[in-house]
Amino acid sequence: MARKKSNYLHPKYTLTQDDTIEFNRYYIQNTKKGRKVVWQQRMVFPAIFVGYVILALVMGFHSKPIYYLGGFILAMAVGYGLAAEKITLNRQEAEIKRSGYTLDEIHAEPTTLDFNDDGFDACYKGQEKDFTYEEVVKVTRTEKAIYIWLSDAMALQLPVRAFDSDEEKDRLYEYLAEKCVDAEMDDAVKGKLEKSNKK
């Protein structure tokens, strides 16, 4: 059952392909699972190089072409390792753009979030889903969005265009910091709230 509407914020927005790309970029660069994907990419060529060296030693290969090929694989391992994050991001972005038509269909209608004292509601396509603040594990903000994380891999995306101003965006973030007491948040905001509560 939906909660009684509050007089707080009711951001309304329609997610776009760019929002999905931006969220994916944040996920890859800033979450444990995202970093693990990059790490796995970095290990591809080093694993090939180690396997190649072991094979060469076992088979007794000792010739210049073998050494050159080994050097080439080592260079690829170093270069790919340095560029692994960028390659992963570009690949993910390309996949998202290829599925653009489907994404437009999924996000064709606006989402409305209604924040209340005991939780918040997400309304999409005429259906409402209730959430408590205890369900929130982390809240993060970037220049382009606020992400309300309900698990390590799932977050509600709230783009900045849903707010009338940066002040309104910051006000919601501080409100969530106050309500989501067990969630991971910006230490500066947490400290500000703690000082305010001590007064």
Residue 131, phi then psi, degrees to nearest 5: -130, 145
Cut 0.75: pTM above it: no
How confident is the model over 93-120, as a mean pLDDT? 77
Does one domain contain both 86 and 116? no
Residue 138 is assigned to a structural domain of this protein: yes
Does one domain contain both 136 and 188? yes
Does one domain contain both 78 and 137? no
pLDDT at residue 150 above 80? Answer: yes
Question: The tokens of 106 are what?
Answer: 């999924």
User: Beta partners for 157?
Assistant: 147
Does one domain contain both 119 and 93? no
**Distant-in-sequence, close-in-space partners of 45: CB < 8 Å, separation ≥ 6:** 73, 76, 77, 80, 81
Please give the Cα distance from 145 to 157 (Å, whole number): 7
pLDDT band at 197 (very low <50, low <70, confident <90, very high): very low
Residue 163 is assigned to a structural domain of this protein: yes
As for how many domains the chain has, the answer is 2
Q: 29-33, 70-74, 131-135: which range is least confident on average?
A: 70-74
Summary mean pLDDT of the chain: 79
pLDDT band at 103 (very low <50, low <70, confident <90, very high): low
pLDDT band at 133 (very low <50, low <70, confident <90, very high): very high
Does one domain contain both 93 and 132? no
Does one domain contain both 179 and 121? yes
Residue 135 has a pLDDT of 93
Of 46, 77, 104, the one marking the end of a domain is 104
- Identify whether the C-beta of residue 23 lies closer than 8 Å to the C-beta of residue 159: no
User: Which residue range(s) make up the domain with 40?
Assistant: 20-104
